[in-house]
Amino acid sequence: MKRIGFIGVGVMGKSMVRNLMKNGYPVSIYTRTRSKAVDVIEEGAIWYDSIAQCVRNSEVVITIVGYPKDVEEIYFGEKGILANAVSGTYLIDMTTTSPKLSKHIYDAAAKKNMFALDAPVSGGDTGARNATLSIMVGGDREAFDACYPIFQAMGTNIIYEGPAGFGQHTKMANQIAIAGALSGVCEALAYGKKFGLNLQTMLDSISAGAAGSWQMNNLAPRILKEDFAPGFYIKHFIKDMTIAVEEAEGVNLKLAILKDVLKMYKELADNKGLEDLGTQALIKYYDDSQPFV
């Protein structure tokens, strides 16, 4: 079993670390704040107080952090992953980040005889907890094949997308689709509420037909319960959609719906301070006057 160094033990990462350990992998972790990872440390993860120490004895390094700037910070520089991991290490960035940055990491890793994969995930906190994540992987096919058993410990829909950056491009397509689907669910709920429908009955009626989706089945029930805890933060979805818009504009592709949904989320974050809620809080853009019941 390959020794794994894991950097980014947050909402998603903590469950991913647990599933790796359940499958027999020895896992070392680095977090800025040790107290936030005490539970997984007690369950067997080995904590290091620096990235350099965490990666030096690892055969595989997995990262899942917040923003492109965080990815750049942990990979580059004297204290970063590329400067301290050993030759032959597999570097797997599971953050949703810029395809251009993923290609930059790949090129820098290749010069040091390391193998970089961009492997963003979809499935939220539930998928991370249940090891049912969808994992979209870009990089060399040989590196993907070598790391496939590791991916199997965390997900079920694991697909090789193509060369470096293609995992991120696929995740952008995923986020574009989610933006439209989730806004559609929220608009359906807003419409049903306005006309006095029993919203649970409405969902039972339409979710089994052509309107059904993961967003409707998993996030609409949270909305009805006024549960806006983050399986995936609004602030991170804004980051993802912003990357997708920038990539699309770079090839003169107009994505009107994506831009509209991004504008809605920015309204919630910038004017209402809701950036730390889950993406299902988009319903508050439509009606925040009273509970959605």
The answer to whether 171 is a known catalytic residue is yes
DSSP string, 45-99: PEEESSHHHHHHT-SEEEE--SSHHHHHHHHSSTTSHHHHSPTT-EEEE-S---H
Q: What is the DSSP letter of 145?
A: H
Q: Which helix (H) or strand (E) holds 138?
A: strand 133-138
- Interstrand relation of 121-122 and 133-138 (parallel, antiparallel or unpaired): antiparallel
List C-alpha distances in Å: 232 to 58, 70, 108, 123, 277. Answer: 29, 17, 30, 9, 8
Q: Which helix (H) or strand (E) holds 149?
A: helix 141-152
Catalytic residue among 14, 103, 171, 239: 171
Q: What is the DSSP letter of 290?
A: S
Q: Which residues are catalytic?
A: 171
